[in-house]
Amino acid sequence: MGMISEELDTDQKYYTQRLKRIVYEFYQEHRESCAEQYNMAEAPDIDQLYENIEKKELNRILAHVSVVVLTANKYEKNILHSNWSKRTDHKKIYKTTIPVLASGGDEYEPTAYLFEWHGYQVMHIAAIYTGSYTIGGSADIVRYIVDSPRLNPSVIISYGICFGLNENNQKMGDVIISDKVYPYFIGSKINENGYYVKDDNVFRIRRKIKGKLQNGMDENYFKDFGFSVSIGNYLTGEAVVSDFTFREAISRITTQDVNAGEMEGYGLFKECYSRDCIIPCLIIKSICDWGALKNTRDTDLFEEICGKSDKYGLDEIKTVKDRIQAYASYHSFLVLDKLLEKKVFLGSLYEQLKRNIIEDKNENGIYNVHVQKKLKALSKLYYQTNRANKQRTTKIIDALVAEKVLQSPEKCLDEDIHKRGKRNKDFWKINRT
């Protein structure tokens, strides 16, 4: 027994030293790029990217939201905003808070950001905590999105960084876009045959999105990026994985290949796929570590591979993990930027509804019930179910009135259509000018 234990200790020490070397060699190769992104994320004036938004304007913009992006990490958030701002000639990002009801009844207010990206109105929500079913995790935020009558997104994306599962065949900075998502706690079983997950707790992205993503691969969307972009399977769970033995155990919970692991995907897919609708969702994340030795700090090995830290300051070795996270987050930004540029996702449901109303030349006006009927047809296209309840229809009409697509009922008489000369609060005159 003692000899076996010594062999295991020797193997673990060998692996630990090898993994440190892989991390530091990668860092040395991409040191300048890591520093650039890290400095952007740590910029003392990053608050200058934002401006507050008035309630009236907020309500109008929320109707247009088609893409929701979720992050759970400072570097994911700051790299997304800094690089978007850089590419848009330093446009401002609207900033607000949203009232999210957490499990247990407590309400908290994560920050939401609004900006336009390749013609999509994007809403980015920065979670207060990592994980899926932690209080304030991804599940709470997705429930808010699904339940809000003001929001009708075409896709929700969990975005940022993940851990890789094969340091021999993968590299830090590689991006994995999710296909299937395997939770390694929920629905798992441990018996004499091992540790595995039942198929009925596995989620996968919608086939239409998978087809468009595969088309993008075939058409070499990411050919010149200098890092690998692939469609693969994720492990997802609540634990911060920083142990090689545990990583190896959970990587064998299915006979399918798994490529990466993260913490928010289960809450995202569970809430998007099991409520009163199916909202398309996926994960876009870049490898920033290997699920082991997340906080390693070996000064001697670092200086052997990278040299002294004179150029970047004495704290460089302390921030290697953060610098790589910033660099990996930038790769996720590049991939999402390309997917939006290539129009992989559906546009705004609201914009499509507005076009349907304006382009119907047979009518000068429209009733609430007919707006709801059009919304019903579109919601089946977007979500495979009817979400056109009275409250959601009312919010859509409010936005159309605010944009002067529909004329306020206070100014609209039934005589415009029926010559009866009395007001009708359910009738709206269509303004096509």
Question: 358 is written with which tokens?
Answer: 């304006």
Are the CB atoms for 261 and 244 separated by under 8 Å? no
Residue type, 301: L
User: What's the CA gap between 397 and 59, in Å, rounded?
Assistant: 12
Return the residue matching tokens 């979500």.
Answer: 383
User: What's the CA gap between 378 and 371, in Å, rounded?
Assistant: 11
Are the CB atoms for 396 and 375 separated by under 8 Å? yes
User: What's the CA gap between 81 and 375, in Å, rounded?
Assistant: 32
* DSSP per-residue codes, 28-53: HHTHHHHHHHHHHHT-TTGGGGEEE-
User: What's the CA gap between 40 and 37, in Å, rounded?
Assistant: 5
Partners of residue 157 on adjacent β-strands: 69, 282
What counts of helices (H) and strands (E) characterise the chain?
13, 18
Q: pLDDT tens for residues 142-153?
A: 999 999 999 999
User: What's the CA gap between 65 and 357, in Å, rounded?
Assistant: 19
**End-to-end CA, the chain:** 85
Q: What is the CA radius of gyration of the chain?
A: 25
Are the CB atoms for 205 and 258 separated by under 8 Å? no
Are the CB atoms for 68 and 153 separated by under 8 Å? yes
Helix (H) or strand (E) holding 352: helix 349-358
In a structure prediction context, what are the per-residue pLDDT tens digits for the chain, which is 433 residues long?
444 344 445 567 777 888 899 999 999 999 999 999 999 999 999 999 999 999 889 999 999 999 999 999 999 999 999 999 999 998 999 999 998 877 666 788 899 999 999 999 999 999 988 878 787 789 999 999 999 999 999 999 999 999 998 889 999 999 999 999 988 776 566 555 555 666 555 789 999 999 999 999 999 999 999 999 999 999 887 777 766 676 676 667 777 788 998 989 999 999 998 777 789 999 999 999 987 776 778 889 999 999 887 777 768 989 999 999 999 999 999 999 999 999 999 999 999 999 999 998 877 889 999 999 999 999 999 999 898 999 999 999 999 999 999 987 665 555 554 544 445 678 999 988 7
Residue type, 27: Y
User: What's the CA gap between 328 and 384, in Å, rounded?
Assistant: 34
State pTM to two decimals: 0.90
3-state SS class at 70:
strand
Question: 303 is written with which tokens?
Answer: 């200086």
